[in-house]
Amino acid sequence: DGILPGDDMFPFLVTPAIIGSVVCMALLLLFTKHRGEQEVIASDWRFTGAFIFGCALLNLACLSLIGPNTDSLCLSRMWFLNFFFVLALTPLFVKTWRFYKLLGDGTVIPRRQSISHAKTTLMMIPFILFEVLILTIFTFVDPSRAEEMLEYDDVGVTHRIVCTHENSAFFAVQVVYQGSLILVGCVLAFKTRNMKKEYRDNQQLMLTLYNIALVGTVILIVANVVKVYQGTIRIFLSVGVFWMTVFSCCVFVLPRLLQIHTRSSISSNRGRRSPPGRAQLPSAPSTVAIDSGFCASTLQQQQDHVEGANIVSSRTLGTAVENPANFDLSDGDSSSGRRVSFEPILNEKTIQAIEKAANR
């Protein structure tokens, strides 16, 4: 039932715990490194970072499963695993609640209000203190202790030392409390499903909570239904914690980093296509495009100083000349929202040249 250094099962317990904590910390560093980017700011990076840090600590807490089953180690395992699980889960809960209170469900405009990060952080304290209260009460009422037991079978007698409680009250309380946090978080995430993607992480949150609920349910079934040694259950627990923490952290971090990389690539490509001092218009039958790489032969023959003009339609050229200051240039991408002024390029001589080309 106990896993000691040198046992065959020792690497299967230690490896997931160490790799999980290292991966979570690496994702946390990458996430906080880009905290000034708009994609990370919109995801409320402070509470997401707190969740990732809690996941790293939860993986490290699995290292307490190493060693023989003694009263002190059994009690420390009861504290570490449950406390760090709630510590990791609470930031997600208050983060979703904050989004819901500020932005509503996304279908109506909510009443204007302000909820600071400090106030939201203080909201985490009652949930953590309640878990500490539960652990403190059961530390004196029904702590996890080492208990010797003998098992008889056809082969012989097996002497075991296991960590156990006198009754199942502690197990029931933890399932109700931690399960309620997961359930309420799912409900809040579902209510914010219509919110704009720029201001919510409800899909990531729901995936995370469903993943935690699934892994936790499987572990509970294996631990209480399947009759195996506690050493096997601890390996299964360590692997389960590794999966749900690393998967959840990747769900939150990797999409944001991909968005940042995509936006940076688009910006750099636009910068290479559009040198300074030249604007670019979409090439369409009813528009005038000033392309940085091509020059219309007609204007080149008329005026040597007119550079980068690509005449697509003589009819629309006349329209542009009538009101050049209000002509709409979208840089070839309507979603970018950037407008390029037509007036600095079309000076008086340039307009005269375009008028001559349009009249022809």
pLDDT, tens only, 280-320: 444 444 333 333 333 344 434 444 443 443 333 333 434 44
Looking at residue 344, its pLDDT comes to 44
Structure tokens belonging to residue 288: 């005038």
Looking at residue 349, its pLDDT comes to 60
Looking at residue 200, its pLDDT comes to 55
Residues 15, 13: Cα–Cα separation, whole Å: 6
| DSSP calls for 239-257 | HHHHHHHHHHHHHHHHHHH
Minimal CA–CA distance to 81: which of 229, 209, 245? Answer: 245
Looking at residue 100, its pLDDT comes to 74
The SS3 assignment for 162 reads: strand
Torsion angles phi and psi, residue 44, rounded to 5: 55, 70
Structure tokens belonging to residue 57: 């600590």
Looking at residue 352, its pLDDT comes to 67
Residues 183 and 212: beta-carbon distance below 8 Å: no
Residues 138, 166: Cα–Cα separation, whole Å: 11
Cα dist from 184 to 192, 235, 300, whole Å: 13, 29, 68
Which burial class, exposed, middle or buried, applies to 114 when counting CB atoms under 10 A from its CB (0-12, 13-18, 19+)? Answer: exposed
Looking at residue 53, its pLDDT comes to 95
Please, what is the average pLDDT of the chain?
75
Looking at residue 249, its pLDDT comes to 92
Q: Which residues of the chain have pLDDT under 50?
A: 278-345
Looking at residue 272, its pLDDT comes to 66
Looking at residue 185, its pLDDT comes to 80
Looking at residue 331, its pLDDT comes to 40
